[in-house]
């Protein structure tokens, strides 16, 4: 089954805004090709705007964003490709005001830290995204909560 991940974009918001695709981005070691990556933009924006798909295998390697003097220069990374940019952002308040999302681990952690598995909360995030960005329903059709298993079955069938 495809998974949905959410993580903070950190200090790389400007790079995110300008890119359609980046050769490698920090992801969970458990992520796989085809998973959806939702990036949270920290203050001053404090919102969700960016959706990327993991477009290649995850590997442990040199992290381009870590300075040469960093003690640990490696991370789990994978290529990502933009799925969409939300025209109407999902603010931190929008997420906190949703009764199903308010207790999600990534919300409780203020969207900080490691990538969080957001798949169990995806139906609520998806509903919130589409309620503010109805024009993206077609773009995100393969990521509809009721389609996640179906897409994985198609992918498996096509690879055999």
Domain that residue 16 falls in: 4-159
* Average pLDDT over every residue of 86-115: 95
Q: What is the pLDDT of residues 47-56, one digit of tens each?
A: 999 999 999 9
What confidence score (pLDDT) does residue 153 get? Answer: 42
How many domains does the chain contain in total? 1
21: enclosing H helix or E strand: strand 21-26
What confidence score (pLDDT) does residue 158 get? Answer: 42
pLDDT of residue 152 exceeding 50, the answer is no
64: CATH = 3.10.590.10
The pLDDT-based confidence of 73 (bands split at 50, 70, 90) is confident
Q: Who's near 129: CB < 8 A, 6+ residues apart?
A: 48, 86, 90, 136, 140
Q: Which two tokens stand for residue 7?
A: 């993580």
Greatest mean pLDDT among 39-43, 104-108, 140-144 lies in: 104-108
């Amino acid at each position: 089954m495809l998974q949905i991940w959410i993580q903070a974009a950190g200090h790389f918001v400007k790079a995110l805004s300008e890119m359609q695709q980046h050769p490698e981005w920090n992801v969970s070691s458990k992520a796989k090709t085809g998973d959806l990556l939702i990036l949270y933009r920290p203050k001053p924006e404090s919102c969700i705007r960016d959706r990327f798909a993991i477009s290649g295998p995850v590997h442990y390697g040199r992290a381009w964003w870590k300075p040469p003097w960093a003690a640990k220069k490696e991370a789990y990374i994978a290529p990502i490709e933009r799925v969409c940019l939300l025209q109407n952002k999902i603010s931190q308040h929008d997420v906190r005001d949703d009764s199903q999302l308010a207790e999600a681990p990534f919300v409780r952690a203020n969207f900080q830290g490691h990538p969080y598995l957001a798949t169990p909360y995806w139906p609520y995030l998806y509903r919130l995204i589409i309620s503010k960005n109805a024009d993206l329903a077609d773009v995100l059709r393969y990521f509809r909560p009721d389609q996640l298993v179906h897409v994985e079955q198609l992918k498996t069938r096509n690879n055999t």
